[in-house]
Amino acid sequence: DTGVSQDPRHKITKRGQNVTFRCDPISEHNRLYWYRQTLGQGPEFLTYFQNEAQLEKSRLLSDRFSAERPKGSFSTLEIQRTEQGDSAMYLCASSLTSLHRGNTEAFFGQGTRLTVV
Amino acid sequence: AQSVTQLDSHVSVSEGTPVLLRCNYSSSYSPSLFWYVQHPNKGLQLLLKYTSAATLVKGINGFEAEFKKSETSFHLTKPSAHMSDAAEYFCVVSDKGEYGNKLVFGAGTILRVKS
């Protein structure tokens, strides 16, 4: 399968614990996004990377959230000291962008469902 | 700044009748626009995209959308609804910028298809 892969698919954690999610984008895609989706809402932007550079991080994100994309390939999203309000589906997407042509379509993974108890 | 407004949170149609899902956008630059569909417990799937070529865009499963710059709209249509079209639909905008900006999603429209 050459689509966007996310791991794990499901995570249940106790409040206060740290969690880390991984995303493997489509090979050679230079753009990688992280979104969060709660029930009944559209995906909410968290952060995105162009190759290994993190271009923007949502102001809604607290300092407990951090993301990396070393070497411009896979990415990790870490949430420290989880809270019940962090419970959501975390979506990763990748796309191929080029200078002055902007975004092509983004391909989404199946997501990681986080439940904080 | 880019933003998207989906004008209807729920739309209900009868099978075989036309579908119209409305979307208005705000963009500082010439935008790219997308429609995604999400079936229950499934991932997001691209339906169609507009990236400054033809203003009438055809997508999968008989869907199409028309980019109207003067109205800042990108409404999604289908001539005849099928039961399998029942899902949630998201309109998405991305400013072009230098390499393309982030994707901004609308709140979604849930389409119900009655038999």
Distance from the Cα of residue B62 to its chain's centroid: 13
**B51 touching A, CB under 8 A?**
yes
**B49 touching A, CB under 8 A?**
yes
Instruction: Answer yes or no: do B94 and A48 touch at CB < 8 A.
Output: no
**B103 touching A, CB under 8 A?**
yes
User: Which residue is it, tokens 């969690």?
Assistant: A19
Contacting A residues, span 67-106, partner chain B, CB-CB under 8 Å: 91, 93, 95, 97-106
The pairing of beta strand A88-95 with beta strand A107-108 = antiparallel
CB B72 within 8 A of CB B24: yes
Q: pLDDT tens digits, residue range A66-110?
A: 999 998 899 999 999 999 999 999 999 999 887 666 667 899 999
CB A104 within 8 A of CB A32: no
Instruction: Answer yes or no: do B43 and A110 touch at CB < 8 A.
Output: yes
Q: pLDDT tens digits, residue range A55-77?
A: 888 887 789 999 999 988 999 99
Q: What's the gap in Å between the CA of B28 and the closest CA on chain A?
A: 14
**Residuewise pLDDT in 10s, chain B (115 residues):** 788 999 999 999 999 999 999 999 998 777 889 999 999 888 899 999 998 778 899 999 999 999 999 999 999 999 999 999 999 999 999 876 555 678 899 999 999 999 9
